[in-house]
Chain A
Amino acid sequence: MSLLEIKNLHVEIEGKKIIKGLDLTINPYEVHALMGPNGSGKSTLSYTIMGHPKYKVTDGDILYNGESILNLGVDERARKGIFLGFQYPMEVSGVSVENFLRTAVEAKEKKDVPILAFHKALNKRVEAMSIPQSFLDRYLNEGFSGGEKKRNEILQMAVLLPKFAVLDEIDSGLDIDALRLVSEGINKLIKEDRLSLLLITHYQRILDYIKPQFVHIMVDGKVVKSGGYELAQQLDKMGYEWVKEE
């Protein structure tokens, strides 16, 4: 059975049609890249999968493990193992990264998590990711650099261990060192925790670090072309105009 199956999806935001009949199937342990020009609806797709209330599904369905998730709330989808890595992670003042993560783990496990045991486990985790421990005491994304925000998204994923993640332009605003660190974190989750992934990106660059088995090109609310890794390389050489013209 497919992990995620998107069938003939139509999505509107404030009456404007953004996604116009999109099909996409992701099987367990697959890594897919979704590429496309600005305004093609890539971010809309990621928000729709997570269940953002502003995005209205007018037709089609999204199945996760064979069941429709359209009637599930954002938090319910997350607790089923879906994760969204944000292009612009929100800042939440006064809430430390550690406190936030513990609250999220408590929600997932539906029970209180002992503070001290969690603190120890989390310290180990950040050490393994070469993230300074002081990171955990900082308020969630407040005053974080672009790179720190993205690494924080990966840390959250490493703690919550979702089965399926959509990463929305996780590479945007990263310098080459940060890109390498973020990619290492993602690769580790793919390899060790068998994460399935939909990687949304503008540029081929990150695909040098995270190799997808499948690449899809989205234009004007639809997947117009699918293929293997070589499709991304072709796109890098020829640009989106080439796909649009075909």
Chain B
Amino acid sequence: MSASTIDPLDNVLEQPVDSKYVFRSKKGLNEDIIREISARKQEPSWMLEKRLASYDIFRKKPVPTWGPDLSALNFDEIIFYIRPEDYKAMKWEDVPDAIKKTYDALGIPEAEKKYLAGLVAQYESEAVYTNLKKAWDSKGVLFTDMDSAVKEHPDLVKEYFMTKCVPAADNKFAALHGAVWSGGSFVYVPKGVKVDIPLQTYFRMNTKSSGQFEHTLIIVEPGAEVHYIEGCTAPRYSVSSLHSAVVEIFVKDNARARYTTIQNWSTDVYNLNTKRAIVYENGIMEWVGGSMGSGVTMLYPASILRGKGARAEHLNIAFAGKGQYKDTGAKVILAAPDTSASIISKSISKDGGKSVYRGLVRIGSNATGAKAHVECQSLMLDDKSSVDTIPIIEQLTPQSSVGHEATVGKIDEEQLFYLMSRGISRDDAVALVVRGFIEPIAKELPMGYAVELNRLIQLEMKGA
């Protein structure tokens, strides 16, 4: 890829886009701020109570110490809620130019925007644009921002929101999320409905020390299918910031869900997420993720295979550049007979970046005939970078099988020699090997995202 196609994107991403803020909460967190957030959103009282209960748990739970060092994370310095504009745009024309400019920088062509049948774009902490195709309405598919869902579909939200999938008590950041969550997407696919065009969301974070706590709740009823995609980019800032999302997915009997994401938060962001799916009988859950950017990332998408024959596939690529710590992996609980899981995790480390694969596969005592396969591959591009693999496998029934393969390697000099002997420069040869390395994941992404991922990798390889 030539420099001219990279530079404009690079420049735009370096500069925050102008935007006016109607409301900006103060730094730090207390009960008053939570009440204010809830009041501004005109939430029903049950949601406020849920927030306050979560806050209570958050205060009691210690910061986890089993992973990356989070001691520099200062909750008093973080802004927990921002509202960009006091309205919601229902038409593309109404979307602020600043946001359109960002989409253009990401190379989303006009034609594709129209092709994208439904698009919920989150700017700052709130969805500003919601457009759902009428055809889906007629099938009963719900795709809206999470704030609206609280008001419009309270029964579904009450039943599924941070109850049985990711309760607030799960971990400190899930609890924090429960207290201050804002924005995100709500997807409901009724029984037997197959949504053939992916549902897409773009996230963007644009203020110093602003936390992003979007919540994604996806319910796929029996026999239904959906592919949900979200991608994030952020301008670069020097003040630490926190992103702590929660994703909850319910895959009912014979249903299928795919969750695809490329995240590219700016390198000063703490990206600490909880993403989990519960999969029922013969359901299929697929996680496809690319984790770029961020300072510290903790991300372990989880699949709880609760029904007989349920299946999970996890594909993840993480890139750790200068000053970045990627602690990522997967968690799969095989809790029923004949369940199966496949985890493929890849990491690239460069310029002193650190990548850790942390994975848990647990095959429960009643999961006879269960099968799990884990494959971790790490590529180090220099001697300054480091890699670690922490795979935990718990096999509680002997009538099951688990396979694990891990490879850690530096880029192969003989491979580079071969490519260079055809006239390819060393830098281009390295880029080619890296692109080949991520190909098994890139090919699972929709075309536009694969191009974007390759572009992001090129940017990172340049050391941008």
Contact residues of A with B, CB < 8 Å? 50, 52-53, 73-75, 78-79, 83-84, 86, 89-95, 99-100, 103-104, 107-108, 112, 139-140, 156, 160
Q: Count contacts between A and B, CB distance < 8 Å.
A: 80
In contact, B436 and A78 (Cβ under 8 angstroms): no
**A79 to B428, alpha carbons, bound, how many Å?**
14
Pick from B414, B428, B437, B439: contact of A103, CB below 8 A. B428
Could you list 29 A-B pairs, sorted by A, with CB under 8 Å?
A50-B417, A52-B417, A53-B413, A73-B420, A74-B417, A74-B420, A75-B426, A75-B429, A83-B422, A84-B421, A86-B421, A89-B418, A90-B415, A91-B415, A92-B432, A94-B436, A94-B437, A94-B438, A94-B439, A94-B440, A95-B432, A95-B436, A99-B432, A103-B432, A104-B422, A104-B423, A107-B424, A112-B2, A156-B422
Query: Is B435 an interface residue, CB under 8 A from the partner?
Result: yes
Q: Say how far B219's CB is from chain A's closest CB, in angstroms.
A: 35
Query: Is B425 an interface residue, CB under 8 A from the partner?
Result: yes
Q: Say how far A122's CB is from chain B's closest CB, in angstroms.
A: 14
Which residues of chain A come closer than 8 Å to B429, judged between CB atoms? 75
Q: Say how far A157's CB is from chain B's closest CB, in angstroms.
A: 10
What is the predominant secondary structure among interface residues of chain B facing chain A? helix
**A104 to B420, alpha carbons, bound, how many Å?**
9
Query: Is B419 an interface residue, CB under 8 A from the partner?
Result: yes
In contact, A75 and B423 (Cβ under 8 angstroms): yes
Query: Is B433 an interface residue, CB under 8 A from the partner?
Result: yes
Taking each of B413, B420, B433, B437, which has the highest tally of chain A beta carbons within 10 Å of its own beta carbon? Answer: B420
In contact, B414 and A75 (Cβ under 8 angstroms): no
Pick from A50, A53, A93, A100: contact of B419, CB below 8 A. A100
In contact, A93 and B420 (Cβ under 8 angstroms): no
Which residues of chain A come closer than 8 Å to B417, judged between CB atoms? 50, 52-53, 74, 90
In contact, B424 and A75 (Cβ under 8 angstroms): yes
Residue of A nearest to B441 (CB): A94
Q: Say how far A29's CB is from chain B's closest CB, in angstroms.
A: 22
What is the predominant secondary structure among interface residues of chain A facing chain B? mixed
Q: Say how far B203's CB is from chain A's closest CB, in angstroms.
A: 28
**A139 to B443, alpha carbons, bound, how many Å?**
13
Residue of B nearest to A50 (CB): B421
Which residues of chain B come closer than 8 Å to A83, judged between CB atoms? 421-422
Taking each of A75, A79, A86, A112, which has the highest tally of chain B beta carbons within 10 Å of its own beta carbon? Answer: A75
Which residues of chain B come closer than 8 Å to A75, judged between CB atoms? 420-421, 423-426, 429
**A83 to B421, alpha carbons, bound, how many Å?**
7
**A13 to B328, alpha carbons, bound, how many Å?**
41
In contact, B420 and A94 (Cβ under 8 angstroms): no
**A49 to B428, alpha carbons, bound, how many Å?**
22
Contact flag A160-B437 (CB < 8 Å), given A52-B417, A86-B418, A100-B432: no
Taking each of B422, B438, B440, which has the highest tally of chain A beta carbons within 10 Å of its own beta carbon? Answer: B422
**A100 to B137, alpha carbons, bound, how many Å?**
46
Residue of A nearest to B423 (CB): A78
Residue of A nearest to B414 (CB): A90
Residue of A nearest to B439 (CB): A94
In contact, B435 and A160 (Cβ under 8 angstroms): no
**A99 to B431, alpha carbons, bound, how many Å?**
12
In contact, A107 and B421 (Cβ under 8 angstroms): no
**A78 to B418, alpha carbons, bound, how many Å?**
11
Q: Say how far A63's CB is from chain B's closest CB, in angstroms.
A: 19
**A198 to B447, alpha carbons, bound, how many Å?**
44
Pick from A78, A89, A92: contact of B420, CB below 8 A. A78
Nearest 7 Cβ contacts at the A-B interface: A94-B436, A94-B439, A78-B423, A95-B436, A90-B418, A104-B422, A74-B420
In contact, B2 and A79 (Cβ under 8 angstroms): no
Q: Say how far B463's CB is from chain A's closest CB, in angstroms.
A: 20
Which residues of chain B come closer than 8 Å to A160, judged between CB atoms? 422-423
Q: Say how far B451's CB is from chain A's closest CB, in angstroms.
A: 13
In contact, A95 and B421 (Cβ under 8 angstroms): no
